[in-house]
Each structure stands twice: as C-alpha cells, then as structure tokens.
A and B are shown apart, each in its own frame.
Chain A
Amino acid sequence: MGQGWKPLGNFIRNIALPAIVSVSFVTAALAGDFVFTAIPDEDETRLRQRFDKVAVYLTRELGVKVRYIPVKSYAAAVAAFRNNHVHLAWFGGLSGVRARLLVPGSEAIAQGYEDRFFITYFIAHASTGLRPADGFPAGIAGRTFTFGSKGSTSGRLMPEFYIRKHLKQAPAKAFARVGFSGDHSRTIALVQSGAYAVGAVNYKVWANEMKAGHIDPAKVSVIWKTPPYPDYQWTIRGDVDTVWGRGFKARVTRALLDMTDTDLLASFPRKSFVPAKNSDYKPILDVARSIKLID
C-alpha cells in the first residue's frame, strides 16, 4: 500500500468506526420505569431537589420504580408526555389542556387545593407611579411589559386575555415593548431592575420569592390581581393501566391525593391535592381558543 491510503486508513480507524459504534450504542435505551415530569415554572436549579423526593414517595406508594426527569420548557414537558417518555406530569392549566388534546384518553386526576382559584399578579416598577387598584390598571398601556414563559397559564395566557379584554388590543400593540422572561422568578427580577416597567407573575411564585427575601417592596409591587381561574394539575396518560396493570391510574390518583407530608407538598408548593377532571379546565381551553393560542 502506498502513502495515499494511510490517511484514509487512519481516518477510518480513528474516527469513522468509533463514531459509528458510538452512535449505535446510544440508541439502546432504558425502559420500564414509570416516569413523571413537571413544568419548569420557577427556580430550575431546585427542580431535582423538589421532585426527586416526590419520586421516592411515589415509588414507595405504587411499588414500581418511579423516576423524575427535568425538562427545560413547557413545550418540552408536553412533548415528552405526548411521546410517551413521561407518563404523568405536573402541568399548568394551559400546558395540561394542550397535552390532553394531543394525547387522547389522558386525564387530569388531581389539582392543588389552590389551583381551583389561581390568580395572576400584575407587578410594576416603583418609577411607573402605578398604584394598586381594584380595576384593571389601564395606565400600563404604552409601557414595557414582560410575560413569563410563552406557554404559561398565569404568566401568559390569563394576563394576555385580560390585556386584550381591557386595552382592546394585542399586547404587541398595547405596549412599547413586550418580552417573555422565560419564568416567573425572572419576571420579578426584570421588573425589579426596571428593565421592564410592568410584568405578569404567578402569585404563588411571588409569595415564595417574597418569603425568600428576593423582592424589594420599595422597587416593585403588585398593582392588580386577576379574577380566579383553574391552573396546575396532574395529568396521566390513558394507557398506564395496560402497562402497569388494572387500577394503576386509580392508585396513582390515590397516592397523590393522600400526600400529606408538608415537606413534599412544599415542592409544588400546595396545601394539599384535591380531585380534578378534564372538564374543570374548559375555561382555560376557551380562553386559549379565544386568543388563538390553540387552533
């Protein structure tokens, strides 16, 4: 063999073969565990700490290995549920509605006690001079505004609905600039620093951040509270009974409703879980259709 073949031989031996072996290995996967996820609505760095505990609890209650996998976005949570990579999910109102439309047979089985009457806070930087009021704060028109995640119920859907209702315009027209902070904690940080004048935030996250001392009331404050709407819920796939045996869905529901450990409940954070059904979320679906977030 002459010199010309040498680089090719090296190339095949050093790169081509190992690359192909590598890729064929990684396509083999783990299967068989009951997997759940949760939308990343606040402090993502604590997601594992929050939900690994829940996985331990469910493993004990259900007698099958339960794993939690973290996801980066609301859409990723829905996609994982739809692709049958997770079988149970802690969704927001809107992401749950989307997931159940995409996975026929899936069901909302439990919601937080507080989720029956969830609210969104509109918050404003002190320099805006906006004061808390009972009615919709029409004074926010023309300022800069940040939502949370694009797929959030409390950070996007409901605030956009009320903005359109009261200002009679799409947010992009009603405000000087519209941003999507990505999550509720960051919405608070951005309004607090004055990067955005006004924002919409999940009231539970606001309370959490307040307790943690991350909020300076001299800089940012709540100026309006929306009327209540249904929000977070546990949604399960319709086919779990065929995989894990008859009555599995009922056992999962029971385990969630029976969760009384305050440390576990603080992961969500909820007082307790109460039964839920798909029709509880009809108002969310209607709102989402009315502002064309769902076809």
Chain B
Amino acid sequence: MRRSQRVSTSFGFLGVGLFCLVFADLSVSTLDPWQEMARMARGLVTPDFLAVDRLGEALLQTLAFALVGVALAVVAGFGLALVFHVRVVRWGCAFVRAIHELFWALLFLQMLGLTALTGILAIALPYAGIFAKVYSEILEEAGPRAANTLPAGSGTVSAFFFARLPDAFVHLKSYTFYRVECGLRSSAVLGFVGLPTLGFYLESAFKQGHYSEVSALLFLFYVIIATLRLWMRPRLVPVYLLIAPFVLAGGAEISLDNIARFFTHDIVPYPLRSAEVLDISAWTAFGTWTWELLADQALPGIVATLVLTQIALVGSGVLTLVFFPLVSRRFLGPVGRTAGHAFLVVVRSTPEYILAYVLLQFWGPSMLPAIVALSLHNGAIIGHLVGRFSDELALRPDHPRGLNLYAYEVVPRVYGQFLAFLFYRWEVILRETAILGILGIQTLGFYVDSAISEIRLDRAMFLIVITALLNIAVDGLSRAIRARLRLATTPEIQ
C-alpha cells in the first residue's frame, strides 16, 4: 500500500526537526536550581493578591487594550477582506501580520511614546492583517450554492449581503471570538515592553523573584481566559468598548513631529541620513552597512530562528497528540475533562517567556528551555482545538476503547485537522521565537531587541523587514503544503 502523503509529509518534518537538533545547543548547565525552584513552588501555592500595586488597574488596562485593539482590527480586517483579491492589499496584510505585536509596540513606542494608541495599534495592526486574510477565506468558502440560486442580474453587493454573508456569519463570529482570547494574551504580553497591562507587573515581579505576586497575576489571568465565554457576550461588547477609553485615557501627548522624525530620520539607514542623493561615498558606506548587518546579524539570526522554529514545530505536534485527549469527550469523563481544560488553560495562557525562564533555572541557558517552552505553549493551544474537533466525531457503537481507540480510530480521523492547525501555527511559532532572546539564543528577535536598545532604529527596521519576509516565506510554504495535502486552508475554530 502506498503511504499517504500526509504521513510522509509528517515524517519529512520530523526528519527536518531531528536534523536541526544537530545544530541546536541543548546543553544543560545549571548547578543548583533547587533553591530558586523551591521559592517558585512556594510562590505558586501562596498567591498574594495584595502585593501587586494597582492590580485592578492592570487588569482593566489588559482588557481595554485587548478589546479596543481587536475591535479596531475587526473593523479594518472586515473592510480589507472585501478587497482582499487586490494584490497590494494581500501583500500589505501579509507584511503587517508577519511582525510580532511586541515589535509593533516597540516601534510605536518610538513614534508615539507611552500613549494608549501605542498599545491599541500594536494589537490592531497585525490582527487586522490576520482578520483580513481569515475573513476573506471564510467568505470564499461560504458555499457558493446560495449565491448561485440568486436570479441573474442580482448586483454584487446584494449577492454579498444576502447570499454570502449570512452563510459565513457564524464562522466569522466564532473565529473573532477565538481571536479575543489571543488579543488578551497579546495585551498582557505588551506589558513586557512598558504598557501598563498585567505583563508589566508580571515581568517585574518575576524578574525580582516575587513569586507570590507572579502567581497572583497568573491566576487572575487564567481566570479571565477560562471565563471568557461567560462575560464576552455580543450584547456587552459596545458597553465594554465605550468604557475602555476611560480606562486607557491619560497617556502622553501624540506629537506629529515625533512621527515625522521617525520616518524621515530614525529609520533611514545611518550612512544615508545626512547625505545627498548622488553622494557616491554615502552609497558605498550604505553598502558596507547593509552587508555587515546581513552577515553579522541577519544570516546567523535566520539560521537560529529556523532551527528553533523547526524543532519547536515538531515538539508542538508531539505534545498536541499527548494533550488533546485530556479535553476530549472521547477519552475522559466530565471531571477529567474539567481538569484537562484547566491544565491546558494554564499551559497556553502562561506567556512562553515565563515558561522559558522557569526552565532556564532548571537547565541553564541554551536552546532547550526555548524549545520546550514553545512546544508546551503551542501544543496546549492546538491540543485544545483538536480536542474540540474530536468531540464532533461520530463513532460506531462497537468502537474500540482506550489506546486502540486513540491510535486506530481518533488520531487517524483528526489527523488532517491536526496537520492543518499545526501548519497554520508554524508561522506563529516563528514569530514567537522573537521574544526568547533573553536565553542567549540569538534569533532575529534578539538582534532586533539589541538594535532597539542601542536606539539604532534604522538597523531595527532593516531586521524587522527581514523577519517579516521570512515569515511571509514560511506562510507561503505552509499554504502550499496545506493545498497539496488538501487540508483546510482555514482551520475551523468553533
């Protein structure tokens, strides 16, 4: 029997992942992590909600940034989805979503300063790019059947609103809902670069080893995510959105001069800044500048980024297959599933950065903590989605049980969906490698962070554009593979 394409592709990726392991630095070098680990464990079981200053404020800010940012992205993304067949729009969207929201935040911090708009745009811009793409795919897949029954001569606009939109609406809604959860995570993480959300306090407390504060902040965050379905009601959205500005108001003033300076000076490569257009020596210097940046930072950064991404992709896949039964009706009863859900909420809502830092204490600096952190985080996200999908499977009354059910019935039947989710997540994993530079892994994100901390925005911009191109390439590859394997291009997220 010919081996299925899906299986051989899986083995191909497994092979690439294993090959990358050869180049990855996986050494374990910690000597005595136990003192710190014991403090972490103690902190975890003794959350101290009173220790965090301005806990309530941080919580409200996290919600406000997420909701306003996502709402703005929904509006922009929906508009763009309607003209997504225009090539420029498609490219523009691919570019904005290829840049991690943390990088957007860092750029807006330079341009707009610590204003609410910095946080809102850092979420809204990449999310608009994502919404535009996914919405247009959903609209496209919304069966043409309804449209075909329309009488000849029906206008495009009415065809859209009467035939296409109603059919797609439920999918648009559920995808948007899923994105709100992502928005909350993004909003919390933006605190790491200075916006006053939960991440701001979380990172500080973590850095200082105030683990009771860390666990208080994390618990609060888990509760918000776990109860999302209860408070995120369509009718309440306008209420939330109208309260949000009062929470966010009061930042610094936005100055047009700063914005102009950013574009006309800051991001112009240093050798060209004050040069005449025809100045040959400036262009030569620019050539050297570009070459050095490529050879010393971009290329090694790309290699490290890809090595980490490919290993973490395989790791995420393996963990997904382990995690999804924990929330699946096919394998566990209500009690077990509740525990499974709680576990996955914890693993997927803990920022990768924190997971990686905890593991750093165990294993010392190498690629290992980053690989495990990324695999856990993404494995939990995809595991959650695959688990839900497996609930929908109809089984024969005489289906096998236990391991046989898992291996011979459920896994083969969810495998296509599993691969679709995983390939969909590929590009996301690539983007997430950015924030793990702290571990001494010199991914592209590490060099971008260095350039920003040296206030060399020209270099930062150059490296960010390279990062974006790499993302676009991986996204294109993933799309091609999904098409070849006839996987859903848009994973159904219910």
Where the two chains meet, the residues of A that have a C-beta atom closer than 8 Å to any C-beta of B are: 2-5, 7-8, 10-11, 13-23, 25-31, 43-45, 47-48, 69, 71-76, 78-80, 83-85, 98, 102, 125, 127, 144, 146, 149-151, 177-183, 185-186, 189, 192-196, 214, 216, 219, 293-295
Contact = CB atoms under 8 A, between A and B. Distances in A.
Interface in B35-84: 35-36, 53, 68, 71-72, 74-75, 78
B253 interface: yes
A177 B441 CA distance: 9
A30 B191 CA distance: 21
Given A22-B242, A45-B208, A144-B29, A193 B165 contact: no
A78 to B, nearest CB: 6
Nearest to B115: A29
A78 B456 CA distance: 12
B361 A83 contact: no
A69 B114 contact: yes
B474 interface: no
A43 B57 CA distance: 21
Interface string B437-462: 11110000000011011111000000
Nearest to B204: A44
B213 interface: yes
Given A149-B453, A180-B437, 18 more contacts: A4-B158, A5-B161, A21-B245, A23-B245, A26-B68, A27-B116, A30-B252, A45-B210, A47-B204, A72-B194, A80-B252, A85-B252, A177-B25, A183-B207, A193-B31, A195-B360, A195-B365, A216-B35
Contact of A177 (B234, B249, B440): B440
Given A179-B440, A183-B207, A23 B253 contact: no
Nearest to B369: A195
B452 to A, nearest CB: 6
B207 A83 contact: no
B200 A72 contact: yes
Contacts of B110: 79, 83
B254 A27 contact: yes
Interface string B233-248: 0110110011011101
B430 interface: no
Interface of B: 25, 29-33, 35-36, 53, 68, 71-72, 74-75, 78, 109-110, 113-117, 120, 158, 161-163, 165-166, 169, 191-194, 200-201, 203-205, 207-210, 213, 234-235, 237-238, 241-242, 244-246, 248-255, 258, 270, 360-361, 364-366, 437-440, 449-450, 452-456
10 contacts: A11-B78, A19-B71, A27-B117, A30-B251, A71-B114, A79-B109, A98-B455, A144-B365, A180-B440, A195-B30
In this complex, the member of A29, A30, A71, A102 whose beta carbon has the largest number of chain B beta carbons within 10 angstroms is: A29
Given A44-B208, A98-B455, A23 B365 contact: no
A162 B283 CA distance: 34
Given A25-B249, A26-B248, A76 B193 contact: yes
Given A29-B251, A85-B252, A144-B365, A4 B162 contact: yes
Nearest to B248: A26
A13 B361 contact: no
**10 shortest interchain CB distances as A-B pairs:** A194-B31, A25-B245, A18-B241, A72-B194, A4-B162, A19-B71, A44-B204, A179-B440, A85-B252, A26-B116
Given A11-B78, A219-B32, A19 B241 contact: yes
A192 to B, nearest CB: 8
A196 B71 contact: no
B208 A22 contact: no
A140 to B, nearest CB: 15
Given A45-B205, A83-B255, A151-B454, A23 B449 contact: no
Contacts of B235: 14
A194 B364 contact: yes
Nearest to A128: B31
Contacts of A21: 241-242, 245
A29 B118 CA distance: 13
Given A21-B241, A21-B242, A144 B208 contact: no
Contacts of B452: 75
Contacts of B116: 26-27
Contacts of A214: 209
B31 A19 contact: no
B249 A182 contact: no
B352 to A, nearest CB: 16
Contacts of B165: 4, 7-8
Contact of B364 (A27, A144, A183): A144
A182 B207 contact: yes
A7 to B, nearest CB: 5
B75 A295 contact: no
A4 B146 CA distance: 12
Contacts of B254: 27, 29
Nearest to A30: B250
Contacts of B252: 29-30, 80, 83, 85
A15 B237 contact: yes
B440 A45 contact: no
Contact of B207 (A15, A44, A127): A44
In this complex, the member of B249, B361, B438, B453 whose beta carbon has the largest number of chain A beta carbons within 10 angstroms is: B453
